[in-house]
Every structure is written in structure tokens, then in C-alpha cells.
Amino acid sequence: MVALMPLVLAGTVADRELRDAIAGDLLEEHAERSVSAGRGRANWWLLLQLVHSFPYFASLSGDRDANGFTPQFIRRFYARLIAVIGIGVAVHLAVAWLHNSFASSAGVALSFLGGLLGACGAAYGAAVAVPAAPLAAALATGVVAAFAGAGAALLGDVTTFVPEWIALQSLLPFAALAGGLVRARQLC
Amino acid sequence: MAPHPALGDFELAVLVALVALDEPYGAAIRREVSSRLGRECAVGAVYVTLQRLEDKGLVSSHMTDPLPIRGGRSRRSYRLTKDGERALHTARAVRDRLWQGVPVKARPA
């Protein structure tokens, strides 16, 4: 549970100083509760805190006035949402193009490499586009790409629904998450 | 003097906690607010409220020096501004005035 916390914070709170302050506070209370009530109860408390705080964490990064989110923030939010979906579809098209090279074993390896790297890079771009919630944007990109890929295979030639193709689509969200993490943790 | 912005119940609880605590930082404020409201509060709710109060100019914050223990961390410490103090006094006066002369028992029978 303690390992999950930085992931949630990295994906929702953009301000690094604030993120560290929140993480420190949660760890402090978790340590106190581990001593007084046991590690299991402390982990449960931390999980509830993360679940209850998730929407608040996300709103910490948005543009707000005294009455809530500003109209500019809402417009930017939807523009970014459309951008993320666009990136996801673009990744899918790239992967579909690579799918044509599935005929040979070397082509399969190339498709995997290209598809996963593409998802990773596109998710990084999505995380840059949505600094308020980089992990959520990255994951959305991966999921959109995977669903688009699976949907295209179902609607199109059923023979393209080979195990390698399914495996690649399943791995896209994880590759995207990795790209988002690189951005969220400011590794590069 | 400019009118003070209206305070919500949770905002009021956070401001009271700031006054009551010797070292007002996130975790301590969350515990104090939870204890005063009688329910467990989410750390995210406390930080969002603190940020909103900061936007209103009622609270200011700064990072403290790292704690003098091994691996000690810095904390984001909060304090009331003059406007915050005035808003708190006004909120209390309004509530006191509201209950003046009302013969209501503390607990219903």
C-alpha cells in the first residue's frame, strides 16, 4: 500500500513540493498507526485515505476560483481529453500498420517493439498535454489504443485476431503507463 | 475594510485547527479537524481547503527546515494571516449572534 501511494500522488498532484508534503504526512500517520494499531489496519487506513482523497488531489492541480473550476480550465480539460483520445487512435493506427508485418517472426518482434515504444512515447506526450493528471492521461491513451486495436480486429478480418495481436493490445496500457510514469516522476 | 469572504463549515474547522495547533502542518491539521468534527477527514480535503484559504488570502504557508532526526523531512507549515484572523472573529461573532436569546437545549431529549 505504501508503494502505491507515490504512484497515486505522482499521477494526480502536479506540484512536486506539495506532493512531497502530502506523501510525508501520509507516511507519518501510517507509521504511527502501524505502531498503535498494526500494519494491516494502517494499510487499510492509507487505502481509504487515497480513495477518498483522489478527486481532491486531482482538483489541487486545476485552475480554480473561489466558486470552483474556471470556464478556461473546463475548456482546456476537454481539449486535452480530445488530444489524448487522438493520440490513442494514432497509436492504434501505427500498431495496425505494424500488424501487416506479422507474417514473419522477425516482423512480430518488430511490431511488438514498435508498438510498445510507440505507446510509451505517445503516453509521454499525453502526460505532457495533461500535467494535472499525467498518469491518468497516459493510461487513457494506452486503453484507447488497445480498445481501438481490439475493436478493429473484431470488425475487420477475424483471422487477424491472432494470440500475438491480443498480447500486444494487452500490453499497450502497461507501456503507456510506463511512458506516463517517466513523465510524472520527471525522469526525463 | 473589505468584507470577509464567507466561510464554509469545513473551512472554519481548518482555520480553528490552525489557531489551536502549535505546529500546524498537514497531518496535524487533519487530525485536529477530524477530532473537532468527530469524523475521519481525507487528507486531500484538508489540502484542497488549505489551498482555497490561501487563494482567499486567509492563510499563508512555508516549507520548514528538515526535522533534526535521521531522514527528517521538511513540512509545509501553515499560519493564519491578519485577514484570516479577522474572518475567524467575524465567523464566530455571526454564530454567537445567531444563537443569542434562543432557548434551545444543547441536546434534544
Name the β-bridge partners of B78: B61
pLDDT of B55-67, one tens digit each?
889 999 988 877 7
Shortest CB distance from B73 goes to which of A24, A52, A53?
Answer: A24
C-alpha cell at A26: 501520509
Cβ of B48 within 8 Å of Cβ of A26? The answer is no
Measured between beta carbons, the chain B residues lying within 8 angstroms of A57 are 44, 47
Task: Determine contact, residues B103/B77, Cβ cutoff 8 Å.
Answer: no
CB atoms < 10 A from the CB of B100, how many?
7
Say which residues have a Cβ less than 8 Å from residue A144's Cβ, sequence separation at least 6.
Answer: A84, A85, A87, A88, A89, A91, A92
Mutation site for B-interface testing, chosen from A12, A18, A25, A52 by largest number of B Cβ within 10 Å = A25
Cβ of A56 within 8 Å of Cβ of B75? The answer is no
- Helix-helix angle A16-37:B26-37, to 10 degrees: 60
Measured between beta carbons, the chain B residues lying within 8 angstroms of A66 are 5, 52, 55-56
Please state, in angstroms and as integers, the Cα–Cα distance from residue A173 to each residue in A6, A120, A135, A179, B13, following that order: 19, 9, 11, 10, 42
CA–CA dist B89, B103 (Å, integer):
24
CA–CA dist A22, B46 (Å, integer):
10
Task: Determine contact, residues A10/A23, Cβ cutoff 8 Å.
Answer: no
ipTM, two decimals: 0.80
Distance from CA of A165 to the nearest CA of B (A): 41
Phi/psi at B6 (5° precision): -65, 140
pLDDT of A115-165, one tens digit each?
788 888 888 888 887 777 788 888 888 888 887 776 666 655 545 556 777
Q: Structure pTM?
A: 0.58
At A69, is the secondary structure helix, strand, or coil?
strand
Task: Determine contact, residues A184/A135, Cβ cutoff 8 Å.
Answer: yes
Q: Which of residues 11-70 of A touch B (CB under 8 A)?
A: 17-18, 20-22, 24-26, 28-29, 48-49, 52-57, 59-60, 64-66
At B61, is the secondary structure helix, strand, or coil?
strand
In which element (H, E) is residue B62 found? Answer: strand B59-63
pLDDT of A8-49, one tens digit each?
787 777 777 888 888 889 998 999 999 998 989 999 999 889
Among residues B37, B16, B38, B18, which one has the least CA distance to residue B26? B18
Question: What does the pLDDT read at residue A121?
Answer: 87
Among residues B33, B28, B31, which one has the least CA distance to residue B14? B33
CA–CA dist A35, A29 (Å, integer):
10
Q: Is B46 exposed, middle or buried (0-12, 13-18, 19+ CB in 10 A)?
A: buried
- In B, minimum Cα distance to A56 occurs at B44
- Helix-helix angle B26-37:B9-20, to 10 degrees: 120
pLDDT of A78-110, one tens digit each?
777 777 778 777 777 776 666 665 556 666 777
Radius of gyration in angstroms for the set of CA atoms belonging to chain B, rounded to a whole number: 16
Say which residues have a Cβ less than 8 Å from residue B74's Cβ, sequence separation at least 6.
Answer: A20, A21, A24, B63, B64, B65, B66, B67
Q: B89 vs A140, which has greater pLDDT?
A: B89
C-alpha cell at A69: 473550476
Question: What does the pLDDT read at residue A96?
Answer: 67
Shortest CB distance from A25 goes to which of B26, B40, B51?
Answer: B26
- In B, minimum Cα distance to A9 occurs at B44
